Amino acid sequence: MKEPDERLHPLAHGALHHCFGCGSLNRTGLRLQFFTNAAGEVVCPVKLARRFQGPPGHAHGGIIATLLDEAMSKANRARNVVAMTRSLEVEYLRPVPVGMRLELKSRHLRAEGRKHFCESELTNHSGEVLARGRALFIAIDPRKFDAGRQATERL
């Protein structure tokens, strides 16, 4: 994986430790680590393990969608917005290899009341776009979100 350079800053996003995307305690998850850059984008180095394979040597389409969605959710979190995905559109442009260095980037585009619009890209080491996502998120009351989180932590 690409090491974060000096221009990247860790994103403090209140990680849910058992989250499939970013949870550090989820042994079967992606364990993604997110950073912000000077342009305000969210950046994440990715190297997918073989267990996320769909077609031989390439990532499963659901994992690609998960990566894009997770990155866009962090674009909201970088703005202190707690939001849930309402709709997600994915463009699968090229096969996504497993075991290779990749990069996720996402950005918040605009807000209209509780609606937050974001986009993300997954690129290879050459900067070639492999997949692109766009999503609509709906902001939720952080207190309700925290109440739900506390209930599931008891499970």
Cα–Cα dist 79/45, whole Å: 20
* Residue 9: both structure tokens together: 């800053």
Contacts of residue 19, Cβ cutoff 8 Å, sequence gap at least 6? 26, 29
The one-letter code for the residue type at 126 is: S
CA 97 to chain centre: 17
**Positions marked active-site:** 69
Q: What are the distances in angstroms from CA 3 to CA 6, 51, 95?
A: 10, 23, 24
Q: How far is CA 83 from CA 70, 74, 86, in A?
A: 12, 10, 9
